[in-house]
Amino acid sequence: MRRAAAWIALAAAACGDGAAARDAGGDSYAPHPDAGPPRVDEADDCGGAAMTPGTGTPLAASELQIPFTADNRLSFLADSANVPILQGLAAGTLVLPFELFDRGPEPDACLKLALYRGACAGSCDFTDDLPDPVRIEAPAGGGSVSRLRAMRSGPAGELALDGPGYLEVTFPFLLPVFFPGGDPFERIEGFAFPISVTQVSGALTPSGDGFAMLHVTGVLQPFRLGQLEAPVSDALGTGSGDSELDAVFANVLGRSVLFLQPAGSGCLFAEVDVDGDGLEAFCDSRADAVFRVDTCIDGNGVALRDGDNGVADCSQALRHGRPRFVDGITAQVVISARPAAFTP
């Protein structure tokens, strides 16, 4: 079995059947994945230099922490993540490459940041003061994995956000494994947390070649989680083809690590009502050993199942051309970055 008996018992204890009205077909939907990912609301580029990979100020994260705050659901991962994160940065196995664009003297009314996937191109210790060689991996079509396109800095280099952005931050964490023998914990690698960013604070380094601290605040939205493949893991209870939405809303991570509230048998509520129509819920309604979300319930009570209205994955449904399932889970990370040397 892909999930320990303790988690199965916990799921069975949830009350209610999660029933809700089916969609009346009055909304506009586009098929997924043929039509590509839903349109994402992000701030327009604030102007100036284009965000062309390799043309900005190259950086790599030297520190990444999950702050313990009441409005950060990721706090429940902090104890199991902060040490593996530090180990990965020191060993050069955790690589978070950034670029700053349109950097000017303070105050700067337009400052942009791109985040890439990447790997160490030699010997790396991102926690020391030496620039490390990094090979960035741009996605198909070029550009960055995620970005903040509308930031500014104050007279002392303090950072602020002028419009929403998106950062896809990947970091390792530990989860208990409830199987006899072997290591009692499994190190989860490659889980990308897709943060729809609503606020930043922090400061640039006095030399302007990095940021001494960047505190990112936002939400993990279901339609983004549904677009990312989850690592295959016994501890997560995930298998090949599972998305991060499945890992969070149909499995161990949401129920017993992030402590999301049950919304009926096999269903979990999102935490933050982003669109103001009530909390959305996501359900695994099938009585089998595959733990995947197959039903998405909007805050107004409309329930969509995979395949409804030509949408293969209910989390990717659109309403009037925009992502329908946007209610989130609070997420905050604090990042420091130092100069890096990007190599081909």
Which amino acid is present at 61? A
Instruction: Identify which has the larger pLDDT, 32 or 190.
Output: 190
Q: What's the pTM value of the predicted model, to 2 decimals?
A: 0.86
Give residue 30's pLDDT band: very low, low, confident or very high (50, 70, 90).
very low
pLDDT(166) > 80: yes
The whole-number pLDDT of residue 314 equals 97
Q: What is the mean pLDDT of residues 118-130?
A: 94
The whole-number pLDDT of residue 322 equals 87
Q: Which residue has the tokens 């950060």?
A: 72
Nearest to 334 by CA among 198, 214, 188, 167: 214
Nearest to 327 by CA among 221, 223, 217: 221
Q: How far is CA 339 from the centre of its chain?
A: 24
Q: What is the pLDDT of residues 126-140, one digit of tens each?
A: 999 899 999 998 776
Give residue 141's pLDDT band: very low, low, confident or very high (50, 70, 90).
low
Which amino acid is present at 210? G
Strand-pair partners of 215? 201, 334
- Between CA 317 and CA 37 the distance in angstroms is 10
The whole-number pLDDT of residue 158 equals 94
Torsion of CA 274, 279, 280, 286, to 10 degrees: 150
Q: What is the pLDDT of residues 46-80, one digit of tens each?
A: 998 899 998 999 999 999 999 999 999 999 999 99
pLDDT(107) > 50: yes
- Between CA 248 and CA 293 the distance in angstroms is 9
Main-chain dihedrals φ then ψ at residue 259, nearest 5 degrees:
55, 50
Q: What is the mean pLDDT of residues 242-269?
A: 94
pLDDT(188) > 60: yes
Q: What is the pLDDT of residues 306-334, one digit of tens each?
A: 999 999 999 999 988 889 999 999 999 99
Q: How far is CA 217 from the centre of its chain?
A: 12
Torsion of CA 63, 149, 190, 212, to 10 degrees: 0
